[in-house]
Structures are given as C-alpha cells and as structure tokens.
Structure 1
C-alpha cells in the first residue's frame, strides 16, 4: 500500500512510520505545519508545532529512508480547531481540541488530500488498535491503558477507519522508546507533548484572555446571591474548585464548585460537590465508528480522555444521543465528548450538550 505517515516530530509517530516501512508499505512522511507563527523550540514538554519538531520529523524520515514533505495546514487548523476552541469557551462550554483536530485535520483535511494524491492510508502514532470485524475495521482500545487514545479517535467514521493505520496500538510506550533507540532515531528520549499544543505555555486562561478580552460578571450561589465578581466567565469550567476567589465562605464551611456557566449574563453558579453528580446526558452530532446502532445499546460511556468508563444505556432520539449512566459522574461539562464502548471496541461518540443532575434523574 501507499501510506502517508503523519510525523509530528515525536517518538510515537516516528516509530509508527518505521513499522509501516518494515511492513513493506510504500511510505511517505509528512509533517503538518499547524502554527501560523511556529516557535523555534518547545516550552518544556508542551506543544508539538515548533520548527524543532519539524526538523526532528525530517531527521527521522532520513533515518528511515523515506520521502518527506511539510504541509502547511495552519489556516485550516486555526479555523477548525483554534477558533472553535475559543468560540466554545466563550459560549460556556469546555471543548476537547484533540478530538476536533483528529476529526477536522488529521482524518479529514489530511486524509482527503492523501486519497486525492493516490495514497491508500494515513498512518499515525496514536495508541489505538484496528481490528478486522464482520462489518469492516473496528476501533479498539490500545493494550497500554496509560497511553490509550481511542477516546480522542471516537469521532472517526467507518470510511475513515478503512483508510487509517495505528501501528502502535499493540505496544506499550516503554517498548516504543526502546525500539526507537534501537532504530537509531534521535527522538527516542524526546518528552511527550502535553495539554493543548497551541497553548505552548500551558496557560489556557491567559490564552483565552488574549483572544477574548475581559468579560466581567458575577459568581453566585444557587439562590442567586452574589458571592464574587470575575473578569471573564470563560476562565471557569464546570467542576472547578480552585481560583473562585469567593468573598465569603459557604454556610456549612464546605468547598464550593462551579456548577454552571451562563455566557450571556456571564454568571457563574457555584455549589456543593454533590450538585455536580450527573446520571444522564444528551449529546449532539453523534458519529459512529461503524454502523449506526438500532434501539437501546448497553455499553460503557467515557467522558474524559483517561477517565472512568461508566456502565450505561444509550439510544438515538432523532439526532440526539441520550445516555443514562448506571452510576453518577461528577463535573460533566457541555462541550466535552462522550465516547461509547462495547468492551474495548469504540461504538461512537457525541458532543455533550446537556446533563441531568443525579437527583433529578432519580426522581423522574
């Protein structure tokens, strides 16, 4: 097969490309230039879009003896990932930019261009497995639970999975680093990138402040009593405890958490932790990693990339995915993704639009 290997400049994508070469594929490496103004060097272990990363990817391609190109997707990345991220926070939601990048960039923009150029598949360094199923390729969890990235790939469709390769899904990270060293790849000990790649210093609040400016409002309790004033509602997220700067303690002396964010009035409501408990949720824009399920599906629902997977029942209500959890989840924010699993297989995903508190779900 003709394979386009997406090479970020890190150890995972370099070893994934090496394994594709070793498997006998005709491999071409490509580095995605996603930043409008790439820095020369990383800030610690953050980011993945620097000139240093591009050079590391090129050196790895030279060691593997494969052609290498740089594709400038900065404008597409800005519109589909960065601008979406800012817009979602401004609307009081908490997005996952890695999910959006996989959906819009790596397996839409890149895959579409690769297929147009005659490639058969796009190879990445994601930790996930593709298994041949009765109805086509199935997306499964990685064997390394600490590195599993099936959650952020839950937006991929069956057609996209048919043109994807994840060579690292059956490996543990330590083995990948050892293999990189044995292959003479200089990135063998390079630190992994963390957090949000386009917020290189890790200061998400500062980044949003530069993009959105001040949007002052109030912090209130559930009765509407004003407890504090803030400079920007987008600096908060559901479930947050620290940094609330409340003027007075709760009557019972217990900590308070962000329960909801109302972006129009810029009101942040806080309350006790038990009010964060959620037993049901609704998701929009459902996407299926295979055929669309019919009727009620018994599954496990995961709400964070490395969070707990809850036993659940899920079904489609028109274009809305309804999910009832067998046990309550805490701190579920609109904008997050809910990914459904059947054991290790990913069924599909949706973007959380609304939640039902555990107390309400129990009474209904």
Structure 2
C-alpha cells in the first residue's frame, strides 16, 4: 500500500482514540494501533482506573483493535516520559508554578518519539483522538480549533511544529463528542460508554502534592502565609500544595474571602489577598513558539487564552525576535488568576498561532 495511506493510531483505551482508529480504517488507511506505556503504576500510587497505563485501558484498546481488525502494540517509553514530562512537571511545581504536562507529552512523546516509531513501522501519519483540526493551505499546515468547541483541545497542541502537523491526523476534529459516542456504540466497542478522563494521567486522584513527594522521596518545608502587606496570618505545609487563585484549603480564618495571589519561593511563603488583586492585563511568556512560517515583526492583534478552560480574549501581542524568546501580551481587559507555568496560547479566529509558558508576573 502507498506509504501515504498508512497510520499509527495512538490508543489510550478511551472512546475517542477508539473512534479515531475506526474512522481511519473506514477511510482505507492501513492502520496499526498502539498504546504508549509511559510510567509504572507504583509511581503514581496505585493501579487506578482512569490512567492511560492501567491494565484495563490496554485491554480495552486491544479489544477495539481486534474488533476493527488491525494490529496492536504496546510501546514502552517510561524513561522518555520521566525525562520530558514528569521531571519538568515536578521542577515547575518546585518553582512555585502550576504546569500543564499534557502539552509537553504531546510535543515530545506523541508527536516526536512516537512519530519516529511510526517511521520505523513505515507509517506516514500519527493519529490521535484529539479534538482539533489541521488544514494545509498555501504551502503551510495550520492547527485549528475543533468543530465541537466544548471539546476543543487545540490549546494543548500549540507547541507542535508544521513538520509534526504535516504527519498528523485528527479525525475527530470534524465531529461532535455525541457523534463519536454514537460511532463507538454502533461498532459495539467496549469503550463506548467509558467516561472521559478529567485529571492528569499520572495523577488520577488529583493529589499533585502527594505524587511529587512520592516521586522526590521527600517532604517540603512549612512556612508562613502572609497578607499582601507581609503580615503573618497563617501557616502553610509546603508550597507545592498551592496555586494562584486558590481559595479552599487555606486554613486561615478571615472575615472575607482570601485567595492565593503569590507563591514566594524565595521566602517560602504564600501570599493571600482579595479577589480583585488576581486581575491583571499584562502577561510575560517565555519559550514562545510560532507554529507556521516566519513570525510577524512588531505588535499583532489577536486573542489569547491563559489556561485550558479559559475563553480566549482580545489582546495586543509583542512577539519575540526569534523562536523561543520572550513574548508580551497586553489584554484589552484584566484577566483573572494569570498563573506561572500555564501556557498562553494565541488565536486568530479558529487558527492557533502559537504560544509559550507564562512567567511569574
């Protein structure tokens, strides 16, 4: 078969990747299904349902490939995952940031290391169950939002290159989630009624601090909680337990609602203040990546979002002189809880322009 009609399907054991495999097979592609084994479950505490490396998930992925009639493999990338995702994730928390590890996993594992494996298997494309679209136009490959804006995942894909996009397919980008479920049910996939994963795969219980302490094999020092004037008003139990905008679990008695507005790693303290103090217009972004072609010179008008669930907002952006530089974003209106370690992603309508990591403000 023509190499351009071959595809390696990344299968998590969920409904979306199952349907992606079915759609590619229906289009006449010669498909190979695979699951990336990224970590041992003792690293996250237990073999919990909902992780992408549990036995149930790999069994479900295998069952779907057998039903479709395509080969299936499990590839072990535990070391690569630790080096490119886990270690940077933990380091980011230790710097007082709140990272999004899915972005690094996409860039370094799914669309780099796995694509190299695809080439070894003589596959032209990597296919995933992401809700996003790719459009080729005027010699460039553009990353675009999904048709289903309630499931759009273009935000976590902004760090891909044109080269990576040219060898990637997102068959669910044109579908609604309800349609994907219907396709799975029609094909009687074991994954058809499986719930969506809500947490980071290697922290399925949502307890980031416990996972970090287990990974590092140490406890993190206690310290002061202070108000914006520096007055001590409470006690914290390790900075890794806190994030910007947090209100619950602070353990500080007050006659009004207080929120985390700063994580001061230099002085090992958490700063609390009013909700109004969480709003800012300016954002500094490091490691900026522009997806297609040469970056425009000077300022541009576009929209930007500062976290996955944030609705992008109009802004003026000062781009860096070269890839990987510092970008400045000035929103038209103040945005709440701009958080270091998260990504700021730029959009022109449905097209993702690029993005980078938010610096401490």
TM interval, short-chain normalised: over 0.9
Post-superposition offset of 1:77 = 1.0
Post-superposition offset of 1:135 = 3.2
Seen in structure 2, the aligned counterparts of structure 1 residues 156 and 177 have a Cα distance that, compared at 3 Å, is same
How far apart, CA to CA, are the structure 2 residues paired with 1:297 and 1:64?
A: 47
1:329 maps to 2:335: yes
> Is residue 5–residue 28 contact of structure 1 (8 Å, CA) maintained in 2?
yes
The 3-state SS of whatever aligns with 2:97 is coil
Aligned to 1:99: 103
Post-superposition offset of 1:116 = 4.0
Answer with 55-64 or 204-213: which moved more: 204-213
Aligned to 2:305: 302
Aligned to 1:125: 129
How far apart, CA to CA, are the structure 2 residues paired with 1:337 and 1:292?
A: 21
- 1:153-211 Cα offsets, whole Å, 9 max, x none, are 11111111001000000111111011011112111111111111111222223223434
CA RMSD of aligned residues (A): 1.7
1:25 maps to 2:23: no
1:259 maps to 2:261: yes
Aligned to 2:174: 170
TM-score by length of 1: 0.92
* Alignment counterpart, residue 241 of structure 1, candidates 247, 257, 267: 247
Aligned to 2:206: 202
> Is residue 40–residue 50 contact of structure 1 (8 Å, CA) maintained in 2?
no
Post-superposition offset of 1:229 = 1.4
Aligned to 1:358: none
Aligned to 2:356: 350
Aligned to 1:220: 226
Unaligned runs of 5+ in 1: 356-364
The 3-state SS of whatever aligns with 1:299 is strand
How far apart, CA to CA, are the structure 1 residues paired with 2:150 and 2:320?
A: 34
Aligned to 1:48: 52
- 1:130-157 Cα offsets, whole Å, 9 max, x none, are 1222232211111111111000011111
Post-superposition offset of 1:113 = 2.5
Post-superposition offset of 1:226 = 0.8
Seen in structure 2, the aligned counterparts of structure 1 residues 43 and 36 have a Cα distance that, compared at 3 Å, is closer
The 3-state SS of whatever aligns with 1:259 is strand
> Is residue 127–residue 142 contact of structure 1 (8 Å, CA) maintained in 2?
yes
> Is residue 40–residue 51 contact of structure 1 (8 Å, CA) maintained in 2?
no
Unaligned runs of 5+ in 2: none
> Is residue 288–residue 320 contact of structure 2 (8 Å, CA) maintained in 1?
no
* Alignment counterpart, residue 315 of structure 1, candidates 295, 314, 318: 318
How far apart, CA to CA, are the structure 1 residues paired with 2:154 and 2:31?
A: 24
How far apart, CA to CA, are the structure 2 residues paired with 1:64 and 1:290?
A: 35
The 3-state SS of whatever aligns with 1:176 is helix
The 3-state SS of whatever aligns with 1:14 is helix
Aligned to 1:359: none
Post-superposition offset of 1:2 = 1.4
> Is residue 41–residue 50 contact of structure 1 (8 Å, CA) maintained in 2?
no
Seen in structure 2, the aligned counterparts of structure 1 residues 292 and 235 have a Cα distance that, compared at 3 Å, is farther
* Alignment counterpart, residue 141 of structure 2, candidates 129, 137, 142: 137
